[in-house]
A and B are shown apart, each in its own frame.
Chain A
Amino acid sequence: MNFFDVNCMIGRAATPARHGPRTIEGLLAAMDHAGIGRALVCHSLSLEAHPSVGNAAAIRETAGQGRLLPCWAVLPPTTPEAPSPADLLRAMAEAGVRAVRICPSAGRHQFPLNSAHAHQLLAALEERRVPVLLDSAEASWEQIEATAKAHPRLPLILLGVGYRSIRALYPVLEATENVLVEISLYQICGGLREGVERFGARRFLFGTNLPRFEPGCAVASVLYADISDETKALIAGGNLHALLQEAKP
């Protein structure tokens, strides 16, 4: 099984994982221990400092690391600090970046998801099929659904979807085609089986939340799910691989 992690962070976090790996070498060793091949990684500075600082660090620190693919954090072109969508896409293409993360919450980058500028950014990403990662705790379910419906061809990957949110998640998955679920916290008994049966295998993506979480836990969630081997392969890495192949920044 080829595991490709969609939810991984590098860099020195302000509040680091207490026991988690803090170096690239440590991260790779943790991935090896759990049988994980590749990871899409955001840099802590992209999330906690400023995207312009962290995105450069992500490129620098993943250089020569074939198993780690950089993911940038992006801001809407509201203020001069953010590039225009065209300039952003050009920079992503040059740097080999095929996915981005948005952090609209008050604790992070603090911007409205429904502003004209946010839609301008998301429309540009949608046009190029660039997957957008969003921590599910950073937006309401209503905002998530509205954003996905406004940009129906934009792959919107929700990170850290908790097992307790299943009654809020199902209506959003039903109402949209492009909301996808990362599974590191989606640990309900039978949750993956039922989710796949109702919404299809392509809606779920393997993610670990390294370096905070033990990566073998998400690996076990996939390996022991009551779903076919073909479906497991899609969730483990096939879906993410296909999304990144389709992205043309």
Chain B
Amino acid sequence: MSDLVTTMLAGKPLDGLIVDAHGHLGPSPAFHIPDNSPAATVARMDRVGVARLCIASHTACYADFRAGNDETAEAIAAFSDRFIGGIVLNAHYPDEVASELDRCLARGGFRYIKLHSSLHKYRLDAEVCEPIWREAERRGLPVLVHSWAGSPDCGYEACNKVAMAHPDVRLVLGHSLAPDGYDDACRLAEAHPNVWLDTVTSLVNYGQLDWMVGRIGPERILYGSDMPFLDPAPQLAKVVFARIAEGAKRRILGENAARLLGLAQPGGR
């Protein structure tokens, strides 16, 4: 495999197994996304060298999780070798947790649960979430949560309680408690072996990843882009230009996600 910095400065697609562990799909109500269709997303993945992208549709995250999960399923059907589905659940609909998981898993291509409690407005540690955590545990599904510093719904306290109460659930803290809670995110990863972190945020802080790897090691850090919400190129660059070992970059860019999600590796696409 070629040197990542050299490849990126040449503007060529990265090689090796690149798995984006945090993505979406479709238009966003909050702002215009020029390239948001499944086909445009795959074209963008090809351009930068991303083999697989974990997706949870914006419709599901912002609004109706069932309608959005259908969008995700349709995209997987069209690009089954490129997309990995995240089943979005909403704790305000506790009676639909098991049935929605059954429905999506039966369609195939879904490998994790996605919770955006900040948009759906509930606390991750609320009693109403218990059915979700129980099902995740029972089915062995990782859970990617939107985590944000200072948020009562998905901040340090809520994430800590969940990680402690459900040690067998692999809990991925999307955004690693951005915009300024990275110390707390690392603290959670140190305290709980079931906590994973990801690299997603538009605030591409200098040396952030170097510091995180120095503190908790690269094994439980996942590359994510939020694409098509955000473009993958600058998000990949955060990892590529980090001043860490090439092997650590490769783990973060894909090997860790393959391990978490049970994907075949090595071999790339």
Contacts and interface: CB of A to CB of B under 8 A. Distances in A.
Interface of A: 17-21, 30, 33-35, 162-167, 170, 184-185, 187-194, 210-221, 223-226
Given A34-B241, A191-B34, A221 B233 contact: yes
A213 B204 contact: yes
Contacts of B229: 163, 188-189
A190 B33 contact: yes
B205 A219 contact: no
A212 B233 contact: no
B241 A190 contact: no
23 contacts: A18-B207, A19-B211, A34-B9, A35-B9, A163-B202, A163-B229, A187-B230, A187-B231, A188-B34, A190-B231, A193-B35, A194-B34, A212-B205, A212-B206, A214-B204, A214-B206, A214-B237, A214-B238, A216-B5, A217-B237, A219-B8, A223-B9, A225-B233
A216 B241 contact: yes
B263 interface: no
Most B CB contacts (10 A, CB to CB) among A185, A214, A215, A219 go to A214
Given A187-B202, A221-B233, A225-B233, 20 more contacts: A18-B207, A19-B208, A21-B206, A162-B202, A163-B229, A187-B231, A188-B34, A189-B33, A189-B40, A189-B41, A189-B228, A213-B204, A214-B206, A214-B208, A216-B8, A218-B234, A220-B236, A221-B231, A223-B8, A224-B233
Contacts, number: 136
Contacts of B242: 214
Contacts of B5: 33, 216
Interface of B: 5, 8-9, 11, 30-36, 40-41, 44, 47-48, 202-208, 210-211, 227-238, 240-243
